C-alpha cells in the first residue's frame, strides 16, 4: 500500500484485503475508467478531442494491472460497477466498446455512464467503494458517507 494513504482509503483497502483473505469478496466497487482503467490522459495530451470520438475512446491503452484487478474481483463474486463520465454519446459508445474488449465479463447493468455533467455520488446503486483519480469525486463520495480510494497517479495500482 502506498505511503500517505488517508484513513478512509486505508479502511477501504483493509476491508478489501479482509474479504480476499477469506476467499470471498462481497463488497461493492465503483471504478472510474479514465485515469484508473484506461490511459485517457496520454491520449488527451495527443488529441484534445479524444473524449468526443468513439474510435479514440474505444482504443485507449489499458492500465493492465488495474484491469486485471477488476476482472479478478468480478471472478471472485464482488459486485463491480464502472462509474464514468462521457463528453457525449459517441464517447459513451467508445467506452462501451473499450469495456467489451478489456473487461468482457462486465454486463450492461454494471456500466453507469454520466453523459455531460453530473455527480457520481448521485448515481450510486448500493453502498460501495469508489476508486477514482478525481479528488472532487472522492470528496463528494466520502461526504455522502461512503468509502473511496483515491488513485493519486494516473494509472496507479489500485490494490
Domain-by-domain residue ranges, the chain? Answer: 27-128+135-150
Within 8 A by CB and 6+ apart from 124, the residues are 30, 144, 146
* Whether this model's pTM surpasses 0.75: yes
Q: What is the pLDDT along the chain (159 residues), one digit of tens a residue?
A: 333 344 544 555 555 555 555 444 478 999 999 999 999 989 888 888 988 999 999 999 999 999 999 999 999 999 999 999 999 999 999 999 999 999 999 999 999 999 989 999 999 988 999 999 999 999 999 999 999 999 988 888 887
Read off the C-alpha cell for 56: 479514440
Contact between 22 and 74 under an 8 Å Cβ cutoff? The reply is: no
The Cα–Cα gap between 96 and 85 comes to 12
Q: Report the pLDDT value the prediction gives residue 133, as an integer from 0 to 100.
A: 95
CATH of domain 27-128+135-150: 3.40.50.1000
Nearest to 131 by CA among 2, 13, 47: 13
Amino acid at each position: 500500500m502506498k505511503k500517505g494513504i488517508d484513513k478512509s482509503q486505508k479502511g477501504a483497502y483493509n476491508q478489501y484485503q479482509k474479504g480476499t483473505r477469506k476467499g470471498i469478496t462481497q463488497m461493492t466497487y465503483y471504478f472510474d475508467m479514465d485515469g484508473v482503467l484506461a490511459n485517457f490522459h496520454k491520449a488527451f495530451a495527443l488529441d484534445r478531442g479524444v473524449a468526443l470520438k468513439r474510435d479514440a475512446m474505444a482504443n485507449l491503452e489499458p492500465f493492465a494491472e488495474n484491469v486485471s484487478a477488476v476482472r479478478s474481483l468480478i471472478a471472485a463474486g464482488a459486485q463491480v460497477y464502472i462509474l464514468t463520465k462521457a463528453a457525449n454519446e459517441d464517447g459513451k459508445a467508445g467506452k462501451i466498446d473499450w469495456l467489451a474488449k478489456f473487461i468482457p465479463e462486465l454486463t450492461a447493468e454494471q456500466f453507469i455512464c454520466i453523459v455531460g455533467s453530473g455527480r457520481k455520488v448521485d448515481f450510486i446503486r448500493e453502498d460501495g467503494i469508489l476508486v477514482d483519480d478525481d479528488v472532487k469525486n472522492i470528496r463528494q463520495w466520502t461526504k455522502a458517507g461512503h468509502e473511496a480510494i483515491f488513485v493519486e497517479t494516473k494509472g496507479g495500482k489500485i490494490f
